[in-house]
Amino acid sequence: MSQNVDKQPEQAGNKLFIDVGSTYFKVSTPTSIEQHFRDFNKTILDDLMHKCGSTVDQFAKEDIYICSSANGGLSTLLIGITNSFSIKYATNIAFNSGINIIDTVLLQNIEEYSIPSDLIDVVIIVGGTDSHGNIFNDSLYNYVQQLNYSNIVYVGTQQDAARVQENIPGLVVLPNIIDDRLHIVEEHLKEYLTNLYQQDIEGKEDIKHLYEKTANQIFSTPYIVNKALPLIDASFTVANPFILLDIGGATTDVHYSKDLVDENIVTENEYDRLVFKKLGVYKSRQSLIFAAKNNEFVYELLMHLKVTENIFNEHDEKATKILMQLAIFLVLCKMSHYRKAYITLKLLSINSIVFTGGITKVLSVAEVEDIIAFFYKKILTSDHKPTAILDTNYDIWTLGAKEKNLCR
Amino acid sequence: MKVVTGVVGNDIHVVANRLIDLSLRARGFDVFNLGVNTYLEEFFDAAVETGADVILISSLNGEAEGWGREVRAIKSRYKTLDDIIMMIGGNLVVGSGNAEDIEPRYKNYGFDIVCHQIDLNTGLDMLEEFIKERNNP
């Protein structure tokens, strides 16, 4: 499956931008954008060269820029001491670094948590201001000993740092992410996680081969999208405040303006990112259906869309369309007071919702707006109708890639 | 001694909050000020993060009446806050009421020191007295 969209040459400069997703890859030249469904029997490089080899070969290695979200990002387990501060702050930093959180553990109840069986890319231990000590004890060490992880980092009170380091081999100690006024300090952990993510992308066998085609660093796609947000007016008529939903094959990313949250986190970012790891329409299809079946409003939504739950067993174009509509509804639910997940956005203040990712190739504006209206009516009991904007040509990603390119 | 303070619930009386902050510092307390519009959980969470000895909640528009009822239930979820001193002050009811009725009600909610329409310095004297008695029974 591929698609070509004409673009004006001056829009993208003389560069080639490639985005490798879990389901599709996109190739943007100064004059067109191609989108291809990935062939999972081939390596990414082979697939790319098979489908777009002639395009790629027209550009020098220095003029090719690649970003990827194909591996879904790093998985993180957070161990903190409160939900309002240490866990919330670490969650915010992890999301903004392109990291996905598989679970959070509250230290005081650590013995009640089950041990995740999967390999965790990075464990983050956090808690306490530097004026407080003796927080971490044997219950933490016993729990950590049972985990299967690749990296572990401590960003809690400096009073406990040495003792925790003695008890946990390989522990990296960074400055506390909570300052003495209980405010967040992002930079050290963010830099550490961003570098880990970067190393992970570069280390993946599939991605590594792409360096045969580019002389530039391969970045994570969420990072590139986040770079584009302040410039979004250049390509779209977006009324602020807005949220951007990137509903992909494996995960769903939400980028939102900081004006939309009433939180005790004060950071320098204009936009924050939130990711739902198991909400996607291809790789994460089963977990999306599971989430849908557990949402009492979904059956009403299916009736509204004139289908039954049998659609979950079908795999045709119509089923994909319905799943994408459900994904929009479920993401909006997760950001509302109903089914709150990590953060609640002021959805009644939103004027635009921008959609990017594979969803823009399947749904029309009318179909998206229908779901938005259903959500506002049923969940927020409001007639508010934010405008839906579909980034059909992947302008946002191109904008972010260009911005990153210009910054270099 | 560390004190976590702030204004509970949907209450934006920031001037009183600043005065409490300044007065506590002047008396030598180490203050963690959560500001206005603070949820009850945030007071307890802040106490856990900082190792605070005292939670001092202020309220001027009667918000405390609703939130105060939740104190025992929420505090019971924390395993390290059994000895924390719970203090509340301000205008603790909607409309008018007398301190004789209000004080036992709030003590029943789980507060150790209750200051309904008492001036700030008197309230902080009560806090210091309470700490002294607790340390030298």
Residue B3 main-chain phi, psi, to 5 deg: -125, 130
Half-sphere exposure (CA, 13 Å, Cβ side) for A239? 8
pLDDT at A230 over 50: yes
Q: Chain A to chain B, count of Cβ pairs less than 8 Å apart?
A: 49
Q: B131 near B107, Cβ under 8 Å?
A: no
Active site residue B125: no
* Strands (E) located in A88-202: 100-106, 120-125, 149-154, 172-173
CA distances from A243 to A48, A150, A340 (A): 31, 33, 16
Return the CATH number at A218: 3.30.420
Residue A248 shares a structural domain with residue A378: yes
**CA atoms of A330 and A279, how far apart (whole Å):** 9
Whether residue A232 is contained in a domain is answered as: no
DSSP per-residue letters across chain B: -EEEEEEBSS---HHHHHHHHHHHHHTT-EEEE--SSB-HHHHHHHHHHHT-SEEEEEESSSHHHHHHTTHHHHHTT-SS-TT-EEEEEE--SSS---HHHHHHHHHHHT-SEEEES--HHHHHHHHHHHHHHHH--
Helix axes B120-135, B14-26, angle to 10 degrees: 50
Whether residue A199 is contained in a domain is answered as: no
pLDDT at B20 over 90: yes
**CA atoms of A394 and A360, how far apart (whole Å):** 9
Answer whether B46 sits within 8 Å of A81, measured CB to CB: no
Q: Which of A2-11, A106-115, A275-284, B26-35 has the lowest mean pLDDT?
A: A2-11
Q: Count how many domains chain A has.
A: 3
pLDDT at A265 over 70: no
Residue A245 shares a structural domain with residue A284: yes
Query: Which pLDDT tens digit goes with each residue over A30-60?
Result: 888 788 888 888 888 999 999 999 999 999 9
Q: What is the pLDDT of residue A184?
A: 92
Residue A138 shares a structural domain with residue A253: no
Its domain, for residue A360, covers 237-390
Side chain identity at residue B111, one-letter code: F
From A127, A131, A262, residue closest to B30, measured CB to CB: A131
**pTM for this structure?**
0.78
Residue A136 shares a structural domain with residue A213: no
Answer whether B49 sits within 8 Å of A83, measured CB to CB: no
The angle formed by the CA atoms of residues A373, A376 and A377, to the nearest 5 degrees, is: 85
Residue A130 shares a structural domain with residue A170: yes
Residue A354 shares a structural domain with residue A270: yes
Tell me the chain A residues in contact with residue B50 when contact means C-beta distances shorter than 8 Å.
128-129, 131-132, 182
Which secondary-structure segment (H or E) carries A46? helix A44-56
Using alpha carbons, select from A88, A96, A87, A91 the residue that is nearest to residue A264: A88
Which position has the token pair 């959980």?
B41
Residue A63 shares a structural domain with residue A22: yes
Query: Which pLDDT tens digit goes with each residue over A107-125?
Result: 999 999 999 988 999 999 9
Residue A105 shares a structural domain with residue A59: no
ipTM of the complex: 0.93
Tell me the chain B residues in contact with residue A83 when contact means C-beta distances shorter than 8 Å.
41, 45
Q: A285 near A312, Cβ under 8 Å?
A: no
Token digits of residue A257: 């303006």
Distance from the Cα of B80 to chain A's closest Cα (Å) equals 8
Residue A261 shares a structural domain with residue A354: yes
Active-site residue, from B13, B45, B53, B112:
B13
Active site residue B116: no
Answer whether A86 sits within 8 Å of B49, measured CB to CB: yes
Which residue of chain B is at minimal alpha-carbon distance from A129?
B50
Answer whether A264 sits within 8 Å of B34, measured CB to CB: yes
Does residue B46 belong to the interface with chain A, where contact is any CB pair within 8 Å? Answer: yes
Residue A182 shares a structural domain with residue A273: no
CA distances from B105 to B38, B68, B93, B99, B124 (A): 22, 9, 11, 10, 20
Most confident of A172-176, A248-252, A387-391: A172-176
Average pLDDT value for residue range A246-253: 79
Whether residue A193 is contained in a domain is answered as: no
Tell me the chain A residues in contact with residue B45 when contact means C-beta distances shorter than 8 Å.
82-85
Tell me the chain A residues in contact with residue B41 when contact means C-beta distances shorter than 8 Å.
83-84
Answer whether B51 sits within 8 Å of A132, measured CB to CB: yes
Residue A245 shares a structural domain with residue A358: yes
Mutation target vs B (from A86, A109, A131; most B CBs, 10 A cutoff): A131
Residue A126 shares a structural domain with residue A241: no
